């Protein structure tokens, strides 16, 4: 799908990849971009900087997604591309997590994609054209040591995006799934040093560079977006010999704990 002239919604747009996607889409000639986030102050600042309309929303709530879609349709006269980008890192480990922790990360990292697709696809089918960009993570393809909630929800996000592409791909609905590794965002920079060391093993990318990859993928109707090209090699290694891959991940976890002994509780 050509981005030029399109009407776009981006969630999680106050900072990081979402803010960059909003800016890069506009630079690529989008007709309009509606930015949304739960962080009112950050969203207002970023939207004014980019000169784009913005709407507050808690994407883990279906009623907020419905309202976002309705208001975006009113503002732009329709939606051509919906970028379900909002996500959180959640709590580390497993043993110390609560039911509330799991419900929170599941709502934001998975249900937000489901609610968006459920309520934006019907109008796209009427238009006979539409595009969904779902932000997951390389962790959804590979896992992330020390983060059960993040790994599980990002894997679910990838699986849902696959299902959407299989189900609606021949009905005029394009789908791309964004799976980066380390990106220079608050989620990475504010985390424990062990997280930065882990996700930065293949380099930390700038959000604008990731956003440019998204634009290219949309215009090529490319499903999987892996800005860190090493991820594709890791997937091949994983599928070629699952046991060997798990053994390698266990070795990586041990190496990280040896280097950051104060992070032991994060891996329980």
Catalytic residues: 150
**φ and ψ of 94, to 5 deg:** -140, -50
Length of the chain: 268
CB-facing half-sphere around the CA of 64: CA atoms within 13 A: 16
Crossing angle of helices 148-168 and 99-106, in 10° steps, is 30
CA angle 39, 36, 34 (to 5 degrees): 150
Instruction: Let me know: does 134 contact 161? Beta carbons within 8 Å.
Output: yes
How far is 42 from 55, CA to CA, in rounded Å? 12
How far is 234 from 240, CA to CA, in rounded Å? 10
Which residue, chain included where needed, has tokens 């891996």? 267
């Amino acid at each position: 799908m050509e981005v030029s002239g399109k009407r776009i919604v981006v969630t999680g747009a106050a900072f990081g990849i979402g803010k960059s996607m909003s800016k890069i889409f506009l630079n690529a000639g989008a007709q309009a971009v509606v930015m949304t986030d739960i962080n009112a102050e950050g969203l207002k600042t970023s939207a004014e900087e980019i000169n784009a309309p913005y709407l507050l929303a808690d994407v883990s709530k279906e009623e907020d997604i419905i309202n976002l879609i309705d208001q975006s349709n009113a503002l732009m006269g329709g939606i051509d591309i919906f970028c379900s980008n909002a996500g959180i890192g959640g709590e580390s480990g497993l043993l110390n997590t609560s039911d509330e922790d799991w419900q929170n990360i599941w709502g934001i990292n998975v249900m937000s994609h489901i609610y968006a697709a459920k309520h934006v696809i019907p109008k796209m089918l009427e238009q006979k054209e539409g595009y969904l960009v779902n932000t997951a993570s390389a962790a959804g393809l590979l896992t992330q040591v020390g983060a059960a909630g993040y790994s599980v929800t990002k894997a679910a996000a990838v699986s849902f995006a696959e299902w959407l592409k299989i189900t609606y791909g021949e009905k005029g609905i394009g789908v791309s799934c964004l799976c980066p590794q380390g990106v220079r965002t608050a989620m990475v920079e504010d985390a424990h040093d062990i997280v930065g060391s882990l996700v930065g093993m293949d380099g930390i990318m700038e959000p604008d560079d990731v956003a440019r990859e998204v634009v290219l993928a949309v215009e090529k109707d490319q499903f999987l977006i892996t800005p860190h090209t090493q991820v594709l090699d890791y997937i091949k290694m994983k599928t070629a010999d699952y046991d060997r891959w798990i053994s390698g991940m266990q070795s990586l976890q041990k190496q990280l704990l040896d280097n950051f002994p104060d992070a032991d509780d994060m891996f329980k």
